[in-house]
Amino acid sequence: MGARLIATPQSAHFPDVLRLQGGGSIRAYDLAFETYGTLNADKSNAVLVCHALNASHHVAGVYANQPKSAGWWDNMVGPGKPLDTDRFFVIGVNNLGSCFGSTGPMHVNPDTGQVYGADFPVVTVEDWVNAQALLLDQLGIRKLAAVMGGSLGGMQALGWTLQYPERVGHAVVIASAPNLTAENIAFNEVARRAIVTDPDFHGGHFYQHGVVPQRGLRIARMIGHITYLSDDVMNTKFGRQLIGEGYRYSTQDAEFQIESYLRYQGDKFSEYFDANTYLLITRALDYFDPARHFGGSLTAAFAQVQAKFLLVSFTTDWRFSPQRSREMVKALLDNRRTVSYAEIDAPHGHDAFLLDDARYMATVRAYFDRVAQELTV
Amino acid sequence: MGARLIATPQSAHFPDVLRLQGGGSIRAYDLAFETYGTLNADKSNAVLVCHALNASHHVAGVYANQPKSAGWWDNMVGPGKPLDTDRFFVIGVNNLGSCFGSTGPMHVNPDTGQVYGADFPVVTVEDWVNAQALLLDQLGIRKLAAVMGGSLGGMQALGWTLQYPERVGHAVVIASAPNLTAENIAFNEVARRAIVTDPDFHGGHFYQHGVVPQRGLRIARMIGHITYLSDDVMNTKFGRQLIGEGYRYSTQDAEFQIESYLRYQGDKFSEYFDANTYLLITRALDYFDPARHFGGSLTAAFAQVQAKFLLVSFTTDWRFSPQRSREMVKALLDNRRTVSYAEIDAPHGHDAFLLDDARYMATVRAYFDRVAQELTV
């Protein structure tokens, strides 16, 4: 392992209009990003890491003098880590519409002089990929050694292989899916309804009222958390453990440890996450469905793919189950593409993709070893 | 099949104090109930049917001149049905704290002259069973041929065999569990938080403000609905079907059929269900845990049981999974009790217990045939 990686957030400005899939457009926007490692002479060692719902461009390392500010995938990305920044030039970028530095609903629309709020245009996975491609253009990177992501980040990696097939060498798609199931959409919709019906939402223009729809955000986060964990790991971690000595018989006070855990997660989230961003990002999840333009055939959709793939799923992930990864593996094999697939027997549910699991880490490390070998040939 | 059963709601008054498990008490309360069929001369053919979260004493039949008012288990209970009211005297009772006729939070506390609201005492499965036993006393029924219920109703059936072992011949426990898992509690808690944090909840005293916390009730019901269905049946029924011709790209309008289905269910529920009742009933679910007083051993808890059992579970029920029924079967067998167990391969998730499935219906029918034979010997 090398020394602790120090991360430095940067920002790229894009004056031109970006046309969006939903019919809207955005101009004069910024993307927050970070890079780790060194771009080699022929600019062939770049790896883009795409984030999921509530993460950001701060993928790895810590900020100077902030030892607790580790990036969200710091166990995966860094010097000597599975995605080794001693070999690769890794890029993290905050997506358009997010709330961690890139242009989003809390910023001012240059066309109106007003904060976007609910008027921020709907963005899709495809739009994010287009914006990321423009960032790579600014950085002078023509082709990615790899694009990588988990969950919604995995969808962006998929999107790259479909929208810019010639610009991607490898795609690492972890705990992801080729689209959402009805149940996935249902959970997103309940979370959105909790936010939208919070009286403090004010139709998405809560900023000018000086309030935040925290009630709705709390509920949304609690629902999310349940779906990130497996029933097993919840039972192991919390089971029916009480907060007090015995039942206190209350309908409103928390009685069980799982209740105070969820309340705490909800409270924390509602302090920092933007409500309009939550709507945008869950909708991007709902809309992603590359087979849609191919009569529902994922095999037909993947015909254009050129990248080689590593897919990883986790046995107890009931949000994006192994079955969904197998669908993608099958569609790639139907097209005779090169695919590695690992189904990791981990107890942690969907969250497993962010956690340390020796087999999972070894799989990704081995895969990137191979990617690195291709570079040096 | 006989003629259409006409149901007639009745009410029983209980002037005396009922001490509750949570330390509270209630007096001068009413229980709404219905009966179907005829009690035989030796009063040995009574079957109590216990209801789950949002059902009532109206188990079977229709009300006179209301052809669409079928009871919630009308496919299971009635003349010639699996629980045959030509042979059995079936009793449905609305639980204390519910909102369909029995004394609940929207009624006046005789001690204060005020509507109970959030001050309605916490009630448990055990309390309901005690109240049901007092109703049977009024009806002159010493021993039940059987007690039957699904989900939370199954917990009450279990409770009967533990609290009044000598008063139960058979227990039919369907799609139930010996306690809630952490995930079950988590879903209940999110639903409760949605209700309690709705500004229209007013700490549970919304009645006097002339409002109803409908936002919270809607969210609660939407979450509930997701957990009642299987992922499979949601995909079959709704999949990714859109409401319109194509994507309309909106974060707030419903785009997918599953969204409008859930919104509709939430709206409907929020029009008739009492918010305080929702809190009470989900807490009764959380608290139920008969093994708690036996060092967590269900086997030890079941040592006192005398009834014979039929347990039924459904393969796609992820709320109360087959594994939970198997735990009960094992604990009963550990005690050498007579148990029949059917695991029905049905696609409908937890909701399956309310639906027509030929194997399920045949199983219950065959079991009650045997119960009926015992009566006539």
Question: How do residues B237-266 score in pLDDT, each as one tens digit?
Answer: 999 999 999 999 999 999 999 999 999 999
Residues in A 247-266 with any Cβ partner in B closer than 8 A: 247, 249-252, 254-256, 258-259, 262-263, 266
Segments in chain B below pLDDT 50: 1-2
B350 is catalytic: yes
Residue B266 has a pLDDT of 98
Contact B189 A247 (CB under 8 A): no
CB of B276 within 8 Å of a chain A CB? The answer is yes
| B279 part of contact set with chain A, CB < 8 Å | yes
Of residues B151, B176, B270, B321, which has the active-site annotation?
A: B151
Query: Does the beta-carbon distance from A279 to B238 stay under 8 Å?
Result: no
Query: What is the pLDDT at residue A1?
Result: 44
| B187 shares contact with chain A (CB less than 8 Å) | yes
pLDDT, residue A4, reads: 84
Q: Rounded to 5 degrees, what are φ and ψ at B77?
A: -125, 125
Residues of chain B in contact with residue A183, where contact means CB-CB under 8 angstroms, are: 226, 229, 231, 234-235
What ipTM describes this predicted complex?
0.95
Rounded to the nearest 5 percent, the helix, strand and coil shares of chain B are 40, 20, 40
* Residues of B whose CB is below 8 A from A255: 286
- Measured CA to CA, the distance from residue B105 to residue A352 in angstroms comes to 43
Chain B neighbors of A199, CB-CB under 8 A? 199
DSSP H stretches of helix in chain B:
125-138, 152-163, 182-196, 214-228, 231-237, 257-272, 275-287, 298-301, 322-334, 358-376
Predicted pLDDT at B32: 98
Angle between the N-to-C axes of helices A182-196 and A275-287, in degrees from 0 to 180, rounded to the nearest 10: 160
Nearest Cα to B46, choosing from B129, B139, B138, B109?
A: B139
B151 is a catalytic site residue: yes
Give pLDDT tens digits along chain A (377 positions): 446 899 999 999 999 999 999 999 999 999 999 999 999 999 999 999 999 998 999 999 999 999 999 999 999 999 999 999 999 999 999 999 999 999 999 999 999 999 999 999 999 999 999 999 999 999 999 999 999 999 999 999 999 999 999 999 999 999 999 999 999 999 999 999 999 999 999 999 999 999 999 999 999 999 999 999 998 899 999 999 999 999 999 999 999 999 999 999 999 999 999 999 999 999 999 999 999 999 999 999 999 999 999 999 999 999 999 999 999 999 999 999 999 999 999 999 999 999 999 999 999 999 999 999 998 75
Inter-residue contact B250 to B294 (CB < 8 Å): no
Chain A neighbors of B237, CB-CB under 8 A: 182
Report CA-CA distances (Å) from B312 to A266, B33, B362, B363. Answer: 36, 25, 12, 9
Under DSSP, the state recorded for A95 is: P
* Strand partners of residue A344: A314
B287 to A240: CB separation less than 8 angstroms, yes or no: no
Torsion on CA atoms B290, B292, B297, B298, rounded to nearest 10: 10
Searching chain B, which residue's CA lies closest to the CA of residue A257? B182
Residues sharing a CB contact under 8 Å with residue B32, sequence separation 6 or more, in sequence order: B9, B10, B11, B56, B57, B93, B94, B100, B101, B102
CA dist list (Å): A183 to A222, A304, A347, B348: 16, 29, 21, 13
As given in the structure block, the two tokens for residue B66 are 């209301």
